[in-house]
């Protein structure tokens, strides 16, 4: 062994795992799940309470509740799939354009990256050093994240979004569905109304906390909206039942 050789070379640094990495995305998914469940609660409650205003037949209430649950959850899932697919297509098109620009005009793209870092407040020397190191690591990722706000390795999955919307809406819709068919005939509407309003207080509080907002207004909006939905549909259902 040469005398000049380092007998104990320093090992290469290991990548540091950031415990907060992806936290914003996870919170967005959780918030979307809470809001999807909230939609399931309100829309299904309005439906079954409206039907209960016209008839108290268990089979009719159950059929209408299940139909509302399936229609709502499938509609949410398909809408989310289309929306996220459109977003993903747009992101992939932007990445393809960025990839082509990096291949055709790498120098201009590099200077553009330096300019973006300078616009964020870095000095000219620091901005150039950061751009050089990130470009050497992954030029496309550096440009996509800084210039486009896209992480090429974490594009939204439309199937996951659709499944999450389907499950969230279905879970929320189960509450008013069970509340309207399980109690005795005379207790169905009161039990459903109370159960739904309690659930809306919970979802309003959770969604506000996830958004780091004061829960009071969110809860009030939730409760008023749900109460109005059930009240209006019950009046309409009672009118239709009386006419029939």
Alpha-carbon distances of 116 from 95, 113, 138, 180, rounded to whole Å: 17, 5, 17, 58
pLDDT at 18: 44
Question: What phi-psi label fits residue 105: left (phi over 0), alpha (psi between -120 and 50 degrees) or beta?
Answer: beta
Distance CA 17, CA 191 (A): 49
Residue carrying the six token digits 């398909």: 78
Whole-model pTM over 0.85: no
Assigned token pair, 238: 């009672």
pLDDT at 29: 66
pLDDT at 213: 80
Residue carrying the six token digits 């992480």: 151
pLDDT at 28: 61
Give CA torsion, residues 166, 168, 173, 174, to 10 deg. 100
Assigned token pair, 157: 């999955």
Alpha-carbon distances of 36 from 12, 124, 167, 182, rounded to whole Å: 46, 46, 9, 24
pLDDT at 151: 84
For the chain (244 residues), the mean pLDDT of every run of 10, in chain order, is 47 44 56 83 93 90 94 92 91 91 89 88 88 88 85 83 90 94 91 94 86 85 92 91 71
Indicate the DSSP class of residue 5.
Answer: S
Distance CA 117, CA 145 (A): 12
pLDDT at 20: 46
Phi, psi of 140 (to 5 degrees): -65, -45
Q: Kindly provide the b/e burial profile for residues 2-16, where b requires at least 16 CB atoms within 10 angstroms of the residue's own CB.
A: eeeeeeeeeeeeeee
Distance CA 171, CA 166 (A): 9
Give CA torsion, residues 157, 163, 169, 171, to 10 deg. -130
């Amino acid at each position: 062994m040469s005398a000049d050789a380092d007998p104990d070379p320093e090992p290469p640094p290991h990548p540091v795992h950031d415990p907060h990495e992806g936290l914003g995305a996870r919170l967005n998914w959780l918030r979307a799940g809470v809001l999807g469940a909230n939609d399931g609660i309100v829309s299904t409650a309005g439906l079954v309470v409206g039907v209960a205003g016209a008839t108290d037949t268990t089979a009719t209430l159950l059929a209408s509740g299940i139909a509302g649950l399936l229609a709502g959850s499938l509609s949410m899932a398909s809408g989310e799939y289309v929306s996220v697919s459109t977003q993903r297509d747009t992101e992939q098109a932007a990445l393809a354009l960025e990839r082509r620009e990096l291949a055709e005009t790498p120098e201009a793209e590099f200077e553009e990256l330096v300019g973006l870092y300078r616009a964020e407040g870095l000095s000219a020397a620091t901005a150039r050093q950061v751009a050089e190191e990130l470009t050497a690591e992954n030029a496309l990722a550096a440009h996509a994240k800084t210039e486009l706000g896209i992480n090429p390795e974490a594009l939204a999955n439309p199937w996951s979004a659709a499944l999450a919307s389907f499950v969230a809406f279905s879970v929320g819709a189960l509450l008013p569905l069970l509340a309207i068919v399980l109690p005795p005939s005379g207790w169905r509407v009161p039990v459903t109304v109370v159960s739904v309003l309690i659930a809306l207080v919970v979802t309003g509080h959770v969604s506000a906390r996830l958004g780091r907002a004061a829960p009071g207004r969110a809860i009030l909006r939730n409760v008023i909206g749900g109460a109005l939905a059930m009240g209006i549909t019950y009046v309409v259902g009672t009118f239709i039942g009386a006419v029939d």
